[in-house]
Amino acid sequence: MKTGTLASHNVRVLFWAELFGSVRFIQPVLALFYFARGLDEASILWVLLFWSTGVLIGEVPTGMFADCYGAKRSFIIGAMLSMISHGMLVFAYDPWMFFASSLLSGFAVTFFSGADEALIYESLKESNEENLMDKALGIIQSAQFIVMVFALILGAIIAKDLTNDQFILLILLGLVFQSVQVGLLFYVKDSQGQGNYREKPFKQVKEGILAIKRAPQVLWMFLNITLVFIPTAAIFDKFSDKLLSDADLPVYLIGFVFAGLSLLSFFVSRSIGWITSRFSRIKVLYVTGGLGVTGLVLVAYYRETLWILLITMLILRFVRTVRYPVYAQLANDIIPSHVRATTISLLSIVDSVCDLIIFSSVAGIAIFGFKELFLASAAIALIGSLLPIRPVPKRG
């Protein structure tokens, strides 16, 4: 990537913003926190369901906002709402409070969803480097894994006794780091291709839908990504610390496991450009999809064997780290510039609908136990990984 360009500036700012904004000291003991506050397996999946509902509500309006007013404003609003939602966990003792926090968190995410990809791709276009989209996303994505090494270890050590005061301290520490993210986002520079759409909102949405209709393969690729991501990341992550605890790993060591996974994710993220320069992006998506299915089956049958669980976690972390940046390169090569954020948000609505259907279905299966839960998740990932992916000619 060339130095001194708009792309290099925005990638650098977003890297640091992602680094501070992704700090969640509660993360290594999140499931244990939920259980300590009275939630059960089904309730935790309902937390995910409300998060997806927030995403569904916000995707199109916030995507339109980014196309009309720029990514910078969108990011700042989203980061502030994210802080509020995280702070609500301090007072969450009843399920409805967890649901409200999760709903707002999902809504906050939509101010970044679509707008971040659009900003990066349009910034790269100004220096004729749009072919480096997956590499740029990998660099930004790697930020969260650097700081999480520290945050996950510290979080698990602080919460070693799983007391309420320890949980509250972890949440407050996370808010301090997220406030730094808000300040950093003021340094983002909107590209010339963003923040200039002035047509009527209905026309904006219509053009986004037409962009997908002209290249329906983008939708098939997105479904391939999301149907693998939901079970391998969204569902699995909600129970990963509980699985480690059930496999007799001491709580204070859970953070070290997650820190190791974050280091893996950091190096993998930084290597995405190297991977796609040597292997077809389509082949990468198919292979990682198959690895995701395999990992979930292993969790279903061998979750109480610690070394198998750890190997499986390595597999699933590799899968989730690689797939989205690779997809984003393929998709953004096709999506038109002037409604890029809106189009990506429309695709994310599909993701939210899939979330709602899958989370509500799996919540019913979860009452039978982890084996049934992860076998159902593996079946969903298998369907997603088999969906066809093929290259589509670029559009302007």
User: Measuring CA to CA, how many Å separate 15 from each of 22, 117, 166, 177, 392?
Assistant: 11, 13, 29, 14, 30
Q: How far apart are CA 77 and CA 71, in angstroms?
A: 10
- What topology is assigned to 20-186+203-386 in CATH? Growth Hormone; Chain: A; (1.20.1250)
- On whether the CB atoms of residues 175 and 48 are closer than 8 A, the answer is no
Structure tokens belonging to residue 346: 């429309």
Q: Please give the pLDDT value at position 315.
A: 95
Listed ranges 8-12, 182-186, 189-193; the one with the highest mean pLDDT: 182-186
Q: CB atoms < 10 A from the CB of 61, how many?
A: 15
> Which residues neighbour 243 within 8 Å (Cβ) at sequence distance 6 or greater?
299, 303, 309, 370
Q: What is the DSSP string of 107-137?
A: HHHTTTTTHHHHHHHHHHHHTT-GGGHHHHH
pTM (predicted TM-score): 0.68
Cα–Cα distance measured from residue 154 to residue 13, given in angstroms and rounded to the nearest whole number: 25
Cβ neighbours for 393, distance < 8 A, ≥ 6 positions apart: 334
Contact 171, 90 (CB under 8 A): yes
Structure tokens given for 152 = 């996950």
Query: How do the domains of the chain map onto residue ranges?
Result: 20-186+203-386
CA distances from 115 to 44, 61, 147 (A): 29, 12, 23
Q: How confident is the model at residue 195 (pLDDT cuts 50, 70, 90)?
A: low
Question: Residue 249: CB partners within 8 Å, gap ≥ 6?
Answer: 257, 306
The DSSP output letter for 234 is I
| Residues 124, 337 contacting (CB under 8 angstroms) | no
Q: Mind listing the pLDDT tens digit for each residue in 82-140?
A: 999 999 999 999 999 999 999 999 999 889 877 787 788 888 888 888 778 888 888 88
pLDDT at residue 338, as a whole number? 62
Question: What six digits make up the tokens of 253?
Answer: 């060591």
Maximal C-alpha separation, the chain: 59
pLDDT at 391: 62
Query: What per-residue confidence (pLDDT) applies to 393?
Result: 54
